[in-house]
Amino acid sequence: MFTKGQLRISESMVVLFVVFILFLFAFGFYIKELKSGINDKLMEERDFSNLLLINSLLNSPEFGCSKDTVIESGCLDIKKIDSYIKLNNKEFYKMIFGESVISVSGIYPDSYSYNKKIYDNAKENYDLKIVRDIPVSLYNPDTNGYFIGLLRVEVYD
Amino acid sequence: MFKKGVSGMPFVWIFIGIVGAMFLLFFIKLAFDLKNTSQDLNDRIMVLKVKDILVGASGSPGYFTKLNLPFVDGKILKFSGDNYLQIYKEDELLGRVDMGNSVIFSPVIENSDVLLWTDRWNVPFYVSNFVFLITEDKKYNLRSSTITGDLGFRELSGFIEKLKDKIPFEENVEVGGRTYIPLRSGGDAKIIMFRASNGNLNCRGSSSNSDVEIVFEKETMDSDYIYGYVCYWDKEKVPFIGKQMIYGAIFTDEYDTFKTLSELSFERLKNLVDLYIERTGDNEVLQKSFEDLKIALDKDFEDLDDSDLRKIYDAIEQLNHIHYLLVNERGKYVY
Domain that includes residue A119, residue range: 4-156
Q: Which residues of B touch A3 (CB under 8 A)?
A: 5
- What is the structure's pLDDT at A45? 79
Domain that includes residue B71, residue range: 24-133
* Angle of CA points B168, B174, B179, to nearest 5°: 160
Please say if the pLDDT value at position A148 is more than 70: yes
Q: Which residues of B touch A155 (CB under 8 A)?
A: none
For residue B83, report the phi and psi dihedrals to the nearest 5 degrees. Answer: 60, 45
Q: Number of folded domains in chain A? A: 1
Task: Kindly indicate the confidence band of residue A152, based on its pLDDT and cuts at 50, 70 and 90.
Answer: very high
* Mean of all residue pLDDT scores within chain A: 89
Instruction: Name which of A142, A64, A88, A71 is nearest B280 in CA terms.
Output: A142
Please say if the pLDDT value at position B2 is more than 70: no
Give the mean pLDDT of B243-250. Answer: 97
Q: Which residues of A touch B56 (CB under 8 A)?
A: 52, 55
ipTM score assigned to the predicted complex: 0.83
With CA atoms as reference, the chain A residue closest to B123 would be A69
Task: Kindly indicate the confidence band of residue B270, based on its pLDDT and cuts at 50, 70 and 90.
Answer: very high
Q: Is residue B78 part of a domain?
A: yes
CB atoms within 10 A of CB B27: 13
- What is the structure's pLDDT at A112? 75
Q: Do A69 and B267 touch (CB under 8 A)?
A: no
With CA atoms as reference, the chain B residue closest to A79 would be B279
CB burial class (10 A; 0-12, 13-18, 19+) of residue B287?
middle
Q: Which residues of B touch A48 (CB under 8 A)?
A: 52
- What is the structure's pLDDT at B150? 66
Distance of CA A77 to the CA centre of its chain: 24
Q: What is the 3-state secondary structure (H, E, C) of B124-148?
A: CCEEEEEEEEEECCCCEEEEEEEEE
- What is the structure's pLDDT at B7? 56
Higher pLDDT, B145 or B172: B172
- Nearest-angstrom CA–CA distance, A98 and A100: 6
State the virtual CA torsion across B275, B279, B282, B288 in degrees, nearest 10.
-30
Q: Is residue B32 part of a domain?
A: yes
Compare CB distances from A55 to B23, B45, B56 and report the shortest one's residue.
Answer: B56
- What is the structure's pLDDT at B256? 94
Residues of A in CB contact (< 8 Å) with B are 3, 5-6, 9, 13, 16, 20, 27, 31, 34, 38, 41-42, 45, 48-49, 52, 55-56, 59, 61-62, 66-71, 77, 79-80, 82-84, 86-87, 89, 92-93, 95-96, 98, 141-142, 144
Q: Is residue B331 part of a domain?
A: no
Q: Is residue B59 part of a domain?
A: yes
Give the mean pLDDT of B243-264. Answer: 95
State the virtual CA torsion across B279, B280, B282, B285 in degrees, nearest 10.
-170
Q: Is B15 near chain A, with CB under 8 Å?
A: no
Q: Is residue B3 part of a domain?
A: no
* Angle of CA points B39, B254, B216, to nearest 5°: 150
- What is the structure's pLDDT at A1? 64
Give the mean pLDDT of B153-164. Answer: 91
Higher pLDDT, B77 or A46: B77
* Mean of all residue pLDDT scores within chain B: 89
Residue B322, SS3? Answer: helix
Q: Number of folded domains in chain B? A: 1
| C-alpha distance from B84 to closest chain A C-alpha (Å) | 12
Which residues of chain B from 305 to 334 reach within 8 Å of chain A, CB to CB?
A: 327, 332-333
Q: Which residues of B touch A84 (CB under 8 A)?
A: 275
Render pLDDT for A42-90 as a digit per residue (tens, 0 to 9). Answer: 788 788 888 888 888 888 999 999 999 999 989 999 999 999 999 988 8
Instruction: Name which of B74, B121, B63 is nearest B243 in CA terms.
Output: B121
- What is the structure's pLDDT at B163? 95
Mutation site for A-interface testing, chosen from B28, B71, B261, B279 by largest number of A Cβ within 10 Å = B279
Give the mean pLDDT of A20-47. Answer: 85
State the pairing for strand pair A115-120/B84-89: unpaired
Task: Kindly indicate the confidence band of residue B158, based on its pLDDT and cuts at 50, 70 and 90.
Answer: very high
Q: Is residue B182 a contact partner of residue B259, using CB atoms and an 8 Å limit?
A: no
Please say if the pLDDT value at position B11 is more than 80: no
State the pairing for strand pair B113-122/B126-135: antiparallel
Q: Is B279 near chain A, with CB under 8 Å?
A: yes
Please say if the pLDDT value at position B207 is more than 60: no
- What is the structure's pLDDT at B9? 63
DSSP string, B270-288: HHHHHHHHHHTTT-HHHHH
- What is the structure's pLDDT at B4? 56
- What is the structure's pLDDT at B160? 95
- What is the structure's pLDDT at B45? 84
- What is the structure's pLDDT at B206? 53
Q: Is residue B260 part of a domain?
A: no
Angle of helix A78-87 relative to helix B255-279, nearest 10 degrees, comes to 110
With CA atoms as reference, the chain A residue closest to B121 would be A69
Give the mean pLDDT of A105-134. Answer: 90
Please say if the pLDDT value at position B286 is more than 70: yes
Q: Is residue B278 part of a domain?
A: no
Q: Is residue B87 part of a domain?
A: yes
Q: Is B100 near chain A, with CB under 8 Å?
A: yes
Q: B202-214 burial by CB neighbour count: b if 16+ within 10 A, else e?
A: ebbeeebbbbbbb
Q: Is residue A118 a contact partner of residue A103, using CB atoms and an 8 Å limit?
A: yes
Residues in chain A: 157
